[in-house]
Amino acid sequence: MWSFPLTENVEFHTEHPNSQPLLVADWGRVLRFSLNPGQTIREHETPHSPFFAVVLEGEGLFAGEDGQEQRVGPQSLLIFAPGERHTVRALEQKLVFVGFLQGVPGMEPGSLSGDIVRQ
């Protein structure tokens, strides 16, 4: 068993959202995302895994395949189907959420780089 303090030592970047891997294994990934107000994670997808997101702090606009933004705050769970394109935009506060992905055979550790969060 592992334990991660999800709201401690959160790093924010001024030029782009931050994506910090908390767990990288062939059977799954756990990433902590931190966005300053107004920052956006551009449209992307996780083609071979569902993407589960749990908002820890702040509020953001999350949009799935239909492009309709939904305002989401702390203690909310979002589920995106494998291959579902999605975006995230932080609102007036800093936004912190954790994303969970299933492992995909052949997926290299680090293949979910910060590229998806660069504007």
Dihedral of alpha carbons 55, 117, 69, 52, sign: negative
For residue 66, give the DSSP letter: T
Inter-residue contact 57 to 95 (CB < 8 Å):
yes
Inter-residue contact 80 to 44 (CB < 8 Å):
no
Which conformational region is residue 38 in: left (phi greater than 0), alpha (psi within -120 to 50 degrees), or beta? left
What domains, with CATH codes, occur in the chain?
18-93 (2.60.120.10)
pTM metric for this prediction = 0.86
Structure confidence by residue, pLDDT tens digits, 11-56? 999 999 999 999 988 889 999 999 999 999 999 999 999 999 999 9
Tokens of 33: 């995302």
Inter-residue contact 116 to 19 (CB < 8 Å):
yes
